[in-house]
Structure 1
Amino acid sequence: MKRYIVFTAAGAGLFSSLSAQIYFPSLSVLANDLNVSTSMINLTVTSYMIFQGIAPMFIGSFADQTGRRPAYIICFVIYIASNIGLALQDSYAALIILRCMQASGISSTVALSAATVADVATKEERGTYMGFTMAGNFMGPAIGPIIGGLLAQYLGWRSTFWFLVIASGAFLLPLLFFLPETARNVVGDGTQPAQPWNRPFIQYLSPQKYADRPATSSSSETGSEDSIQEIKHKLRFPNPLHPLKIVCHVNSIIVLAVTGVIMAGNMTVLSSITSTYTDLYGLDELEIGLCYIAMGCGSIVASVSTGRMLDWNFKRMAAKNESDAVTSGKQLQEVPVEKARAMITTPLVVLGSLTTLAFGWVLYYKAPLAAPEVILFFVGIGQTGGFISTSTLLVDLHSSNPAAATAANNFVRSLFSAGASAVIDPMLAAMGRGWTFTLVAFVLLATIPFLLLLCGMGRKKDAPNVEKQ
């Protein structure tokens, strides 16, 4: 059951990144069909990113209070409705409003996915499951431009949104029937029943079969470290400021800042590929879409390998401290989780920085296309791996409110990414490709002292507002 839950979380996160990337090949066609300028069409990308950061602040708080299942369902209902509207609309005003609605619906699934992993996985295995979940999110940049390019070229831009309607609808049905509630505020350690309206449909079809079963299998799989003795089921209006409030601690602020810088660096690379490859190599939309595969594959490799490295290092430190981290949840508090995660993050940030530097200079010297593509693979490993590591640490620090903490993380990285996408073109025009990415690389390297600072911040030194797991 745990693997099914994590697989579902990974699939939900895929739609968030896919929706952003699949849209890019249709930009020029949309501008022509709607009789607007390219800059006005680009506003639909900017507005998408803004709502991508804001919406999870509401849904994350709601999911921690009420449950993951209703949050997932709300997200996909809004998302499917907005995609239907996007496929049918014929005006620029409708396009930009529905794009904001689309982002509001699906962007929260990233926070929900991380929260779901926190519900069912302990610290010593959380890295692997977080990596697998993030692999779904980072598949979007690999396959989104390809799918979008093929659909826009052969079936028209409307087919892009119809594809998302069909795919998300096919995903929502098994979620409704089989996904159990996992939120600890609702089902505790898995032995408490969820609200009657918050149970998988399969339980209503076979009530006798599921009558005596717990809401989730997390009790036996995650131990008692997050057990909640009394569960009070209340529906409350989500507080969008709650995610920012719970991360208001020096450790969390450092993690958020480092994550934001990493994702800003990632966005500078992604945003520059289309214009740079068009100028240097004369590629069309579909060919440029194929060029994103290298970085996407690196991101997927990082998603799998980084999680395993995080778990290995946590267990190594637990053994070094002579604590039985696997069988004793209490002893987990003896492992300095900040140091355990930051030790893996640091070399990944170095890799992402140096490969970003190399990417800029091979473009400056107009190297053959194979050169920047090989480098992009390693950029994906370094930057994505760093992001997964810091995201896992933030969930570790706020295991009682993982959806809200991840929503705050999403808000910060969206702001950083939006800023990076806005300044990269002026930087390239003013400084050239080589020096632009040299500056980006040094900004990324500037996070290393903060990661080293995290290594010295143990759990016993934390303030009370950082939840203990």
Structure 2
Amino acid sequence: MEKSTTIDLETPQNHGENTEVGTVDYSVFTHNQKRFIVFIASWAGFFSPVSSQIYFPALNTLAEDLHVSNSLINLTLTSYMIFQGLSPMFIGDFADKAGRRPAYILCFTIYIAANIGLALQNDYAALFVLRCLQSAGSSTTIALSSGVVSDVATVAERGSYMGFVTAGSLLGPSVGPVIGGLLAQYLGWRAIFWFLTIFAGAFLVPFLIFFPETARGIVGDGSIPPQKWNMSLISYLKTRKARAEGIESPASSKKQKLSFPNPFKTLAIVFQKDTSIILLSNAILFAGFYDVSATIPSIYKDLYGLDDLQIGLCYIPFGLGATIASILNGKFLDFNYRRLAKQLNFPLVKNRTVDLRSFPIEKARLQIAFPLLTIGSMSIVAFGWCLNYGVHLAAPTTILFVMGLSLTGSFNTVSTLLVDLYPTQAAKATAANNFVRCLLGAGATAVVDLMLSSMGRGWCFTFVALVMLCTSPLLLIVIWQGPKWREERRLKEHSKKLDSPPHETSENVKSG
């Protein structure tokens, strides 16, 4: 029983970096502290999808006001996704070196500036460029949130925490279009970007005051204080008070040697045998998911005659299903991990670093994905044919709930597995995920209008669903060969470590 529910994020419970696997705490943060940290990370991850989805109901209005075609407006979706894939490659590496807090602050500074520019611009060229800048600022927050989870959560509890983080990022498809529809309908599309500016400012205030640095390369298990400039306001005031009272505090973390972020470290993850298959599979699922989201405004307007607000309301079932799935799927992932661990007599320990070399983590995670993938693909087929025959609006909108529920579970499963495979480089691993899926999603968005014109709605979405189903054999290969490839990579990295100066520690795959 806890003596207090006060969330003191800066008070360590023991000092020094944990080094002995399985015998010391993975993190000094209490359960309440972890929950608060994950809540803030989840809130931060909300900005990237909401910035994309809030824009959808205003697409038709923007095309009219800026006197451009729907195809040109759709290019702003494509460019947004391209930068959504590229920018985390740089910021993810920066976050591992400088820390999570500086990376978050840099991202939100860029994001707020871009939103102010978008609210004031008057032509298509400015819209296009500033949307790219907006994407660069917001898209990295999802990768950073995954990094935060890997900093504080062990493999046994990571599914649930990743579920909560994903829930925040997937609230975007639910509330984003509704907010965007309301603002565009009654205040004009510029109000969308003023709203995002104010909302980002509201996030930064509690972040700067309370959120502690969690990067294990900076603060270890959380007991090593970060540099003064990297402290939260609460941490700085406590440190100052302790010094005034003559209380000796633990030594601060060593000064990090910063260099220009290296995107090739992210690309190195992309081209690993197991992760390349995982990333490709996830990218195909994401492309299908995004094709549906991006085509709803134009199809629903033409087919059902809906305005901006009504279109936004139609996204609610989709986002609601996604939010429910992210939380429940996280619980299922933790349950399946414990189930397999008991079957294999694998030790289940709380708040301890675990060596996963003898555990089939790929199987524990991906077993959950197959039924979700099948249901999600079938829902896209049903969605397409409902639109093809002009079925009542209630039918495709209800199907959107099932689609959000199933496809989101698949995304969350893959995201959790990536963090398991790269626990000390989770930000870079998630950046690799964003890079592959956003570039493929951008390509899919660019051609979906042509596919709809040439194939019709029913066959277009049937084709998308069949391509998504083709990922199942790929995931089976990962379950079958993944542990062997993982061990090969570990031995290769261990050999490199022995042959080079010990300036950087890599624990990829070995521990969770």
CA contact (8 A) 2:100 2:148 kept: yes
| Distance verdict in 2 for CA 1:243–1:99, change over 3 Å | same
Q: 1:223 — aligned with what?
A: none
Aligned 1:153-192 pairs, distance under 5 A: 153-192=185-224
> How big is each residue's C-alpha offset from its partner over 1:353-403, in whole Å with a ceiling of 9 and x where there is no partner?
111112122222322221112211111111111011011111111111110
- Partner secondary structure for residue 346 of structure 2: coil
Aligned residues: 456
Pick aligned residue for 1:338 from 352, 362, 366: 362
Alignment of 1:1-80 (within 5 A): 1-80=33-112
Q: Which among 385, 407, 411 is matched to residue 409 of structure 2? A: 385
Q: CA deviation at 1:203?
A: 2.1
Is the counterpart of residue 468 in structure 1 residue 500 in structure 2?
no
**TM-aligned CA distance change 1:458 to 1:424, over 3 Å:** closer
* Counterpart-to-counterpart distance in 2, 1:198 and 1:62: 14
Aligned residues of 2:58 and 2:308 also touching (Cα < 8 A): no
Q: Contact 2:181–2:313 at 8 Å: present in 1 too?
A: no
CA shift for structure 1 position 102: 0.9
Residue 268 of structure 1 is matched in structure 2 by 291
The one-letter code sitting in structure 2 at the alignment partner of 1:142 is S
Distance in 1 separating the partners of 2:242 and 2:437: 41
Alignment of 1:4-403 (within 5 A): 4-208=36-240, 233-327=256-350, 329-330=353-354, 332-403=356-427
How far off its partner does 1:235 sit? 1.6
Q: 1:379 to 1:183 in 2, by over 3 A?
A: same
Amino acid across the alignment from 2:57: P
Secondary structure of 2:481's aligned partner = coil
Looking at structure 1, the residues matched to 39 and 105 of structure 2 have their Cα atoms a distance apart, in angstroms, of: 16
- Kindly state the Cα deviation for residue 7 of structure 1 after the two structures are TM-superposed: 0.3
Select between 278-287 and 369-378 the one with higher mean Cα deviation. 278-287
Q: CA deviation at 1:414?
A: 0.4
Amino acid in structure 1 at the alignment position of 2:465: A
Per-residue CA deviations over 1:14-56 (Å, capped at 9, x if unaligned) read 1111111112233333334434444333332222221111111
CA contact (8 A) 2:320 2:404 kept: yes
3-state SS in 2 of match to 1:141: helix
Kindly report which structure 2 residues correspond to 1:422-461, keeping only aligned pairs within 5 A, or say none: 422-457=446-481, 459=483, 461=485
Distance 1:119 1:130 in 2: 12
Name the SS of the counterpart of 2:161 in structure 1.
helix
Name 2:19's counterpart in structure 1.
none
**Which segments of structure 1 move beyond 4 Å, counting only runs of 4 or more?**
208-216
Percent of pairs identical after alignment?
55
**Which residue identity lines up with residue 302 of structure 1 in the other structure?**
A
Q: Helix, strand or coil: the match of 1:103?
A: helix
Q: Distance in 2 between matches of 1:380 and 1:9?
A: 22
Tell me the TM-score normalized by structure 1.
Answer: 0.92
User: How well do the aligned residues superpose, as a CA RMSD in angstroms?
Assistant: 2.0
| AA aligned opposite 1:26 | A
* The 10-residue stretch of structure 1 (266-275 or 345-354) with the greater mean CA deviation from structure 2: 266-275
TM-score of the superposition, structure 2-length normalised?
Answer: 0.85
Q: Go from structure 1 to structure 2 and tell me whether the alpha carbon gap of 1:94 and 1:238 turns closer, same or farther (over 3 Å shift).
A: same
CA distance in 1, matches of 2:321, 2:341: 30
Instruction: Tell me how far apart the structure 2 counterparts of residues 271 and 103 of structure 1 sit (CA, whole Å).
Output: 16
Question: Which amino acid in the other structure matches residue 100 of structure 2?
Answer: R
Residue deviations 1:420-467 (CA, integer Å, cap 9, x gap) = 112222212222222222211211111111111222235355222553
* Deviating more after overlay: 185-194 vs 106-115: 185-194
Give how far 1:215 is off: 11
Alignment partners' CA distance in 1, 2:234 and 2:409: 37
Equivalent residues of 1:190, 1:214 under 8 A apart: no
